A = this chain, B = another copy of it.
């Protein structure tokens, strides 16, 4: 096979120069939340990088989470889902996360470990006497098929609690503690207001980690979002699901969906104001929009840090008869290895984009075809939208290929960012996906990790 390179992870805490701009130097964080990132050494080789993140609310709060749909669900996914169900999404105190080991495919022992991790976090808070077990969401990311070094983690939780704080540095350290092969911590914070309480400045902050585990398994996506707005627990799951479908579920690094993916939102109401209690209220609509935009910006950071990525590509499918059909097409283009390698090669290869569009609705032989009649070749157009605001470059118009100015195409593809616009000419719905390219480095990271 020749030419196999060995991958060395970047030196600890060394953020690549090109990624520095995505790491905030300050932030505005929600009231009543405290965070820490501390070192427990989940991996024996990890001597001082933080690998335990703790997010705590000063008061019991509302929380919801969406979990991977992978059939093989890691122990913390099962434990957290059941806890949230038992509590009807209320009375939650914290999120406890370790990196370095995913506690996935670890059998009954792994389930007990995840339970213990949550219980140890619970002990840090006043015990409620409501008879319901558990008040902490548990997340793990890292190697699969290995047991957690649970004693180390349990011993580390009191120290993690002692280290809690609300400064920007606390948030950034926590964001770093959940990273695996991420090259930079992913943290965003912002303020918003709600129509019913125009004088209150609400805050929302969140962190995520993404695409990249070298040794030995898979990319896990974790996300934690906290806000000091007051939201009825019953409304939070739908708000989060809607937000995630348009953000974390609209990104693709390589189409692989891990056993551990979890995104959680916590709302403690510490900023005051009126609680959002109805789906038909103006506040609800504004918060939904806020949460969706916030989640989208967090999710985009995951794509920015895709393994080996050199490109950040927005795939927009418009003029579709249905959003579901548009999503399927966008997702198929985003996953196409031929599209992704063409992007890496800076190649204006609309044929591959069209090809992926065309096979997006093929199912396996024998499988029921759930075909949405979204694609009419003679009405389909494909363009590049340059990231510098210059005019679109039309590649295909109503099914007829354009004579492409290759010099112009090359200029557009020199930029890190690009939008691929597919117009279906058959409706008014649209969907957006974000993805990156496949580079030699992707193969190196995922194929040559052995040291």
Contact between A336 and B256, CB atoms less than 8 A apart = yes
Contact between B365 and A217, CB atoms less than 8 A apart = no
**Copies of this chain held together in the complex:** 2
- Residues on the B chain within 8 Å of A352, using CB: 217-218, 256
- Report how far A364 CA is from B324 CA in the complex, Å: 8
Task: Choose among B70, B349, B365, B443 the residue that contacts A341 (Cβ–Cβ < 8 A).
Answer: B443
Chain-B contact segment, one of A34-42, A175-183, A367-375: A367-375
Return the chain B residue nearest A257 by Cβ.
B359
Contact between A341 and B1, CB atoms less than 8 A apart = no
Q: With A216-B351, A364-B324 in contact, do A359 and B256 touch (Cβ < 8 Å)?
A: yes
- Report how far A264 CA is from B365 CA in the complex, Å: 18
The verdict on A107 contacting chain B, using a C-beta distance below 8 Å, is yes
Chain A interface residues (CB < 8 Å from chain B): 1, 3-5, 68-73, 104-107, 143-145, 216-219, 245, 249, 254-259, 310, 323-324, 327-328, 331, 335-338, 341-342, 344-347, 349-352, 354-359, 361-362, 364-368, 370, 375, 377, 380, 396, 399-401, 437-444, 446-450
Q: With A218-B352, A355-B218, A356-B256 in contact, do A448 and B345 touch (Cβ < 8 Å)?
A: yes
Greatest chain B CB density within 10 A among A249, A323, A351, A356 is at A351
- Residues on the B chain within 8 Å of A5, using CB: 440
Q: With A256-B355, A354-B72, A377-B72 in contact, do A338 and B218 touch (Cβ < 8 Å)?
A: yes
A149 to chain B, nearest CB (A): 17
Contacts A4-B440, A255-B336, A256-B337 known; list 16 others, CB within 8 Å.
A5-B440, A70-B355, A145-B351, A217-B355, A218-B352, A249-B365, A254-B336, A254-B337, A256-B359, A257-B358, A259-B354, A259-B358, A324-B367, A337-B337, A345-B450, A370-B370
Greatest chain B CB density within 10 A among A218, A336, A352, A380 is at A218
A-B pairs with beta carbons under 8 Å apart, 23 shown: A3-B440, A4-B345, A5-B440, A71-B357, A71-B361, A72-B358, A105-B401, A107-B399, A107-B400, A145-B401, A217-B349, A245-B365, A245-B366, A256-B355, A256-B356, A337-B442, A342-B447, A345-B446, A345-B449, A347-B447, A347-B450, A438-B443, A443-B443
Contact between A255 and B218, CB atoms less than 8 A apart = no
Contact between A337 and B71, CB atoms less than 8 A apart = no
Greatest chain B CB density within 10 A among A143, A259, A443 is at A443
Contact between B105 and A351, CB atoms less than 8 A apart = yes
Contact between A105 and B399, CB atoms less than 8 A apart = yes
Contact between A349 and B216, CB atoms less than 8 A apart = yes
- Report how far A357 CA is from B72 CA in the complex, Å: 8
- Residues on the B chain within 8 Å of A357, using CB: 71-72
- Report how far A366 CA is from B448 CA in the complex, Å: 37
- Report how far A357 CA is from B70 CA in the complex, Å: 8
Contact between A344 and B70, CB atoms less than 8 A apart = no
- Residues on the B chain within 8 Å of A73, using CB: 358, 377
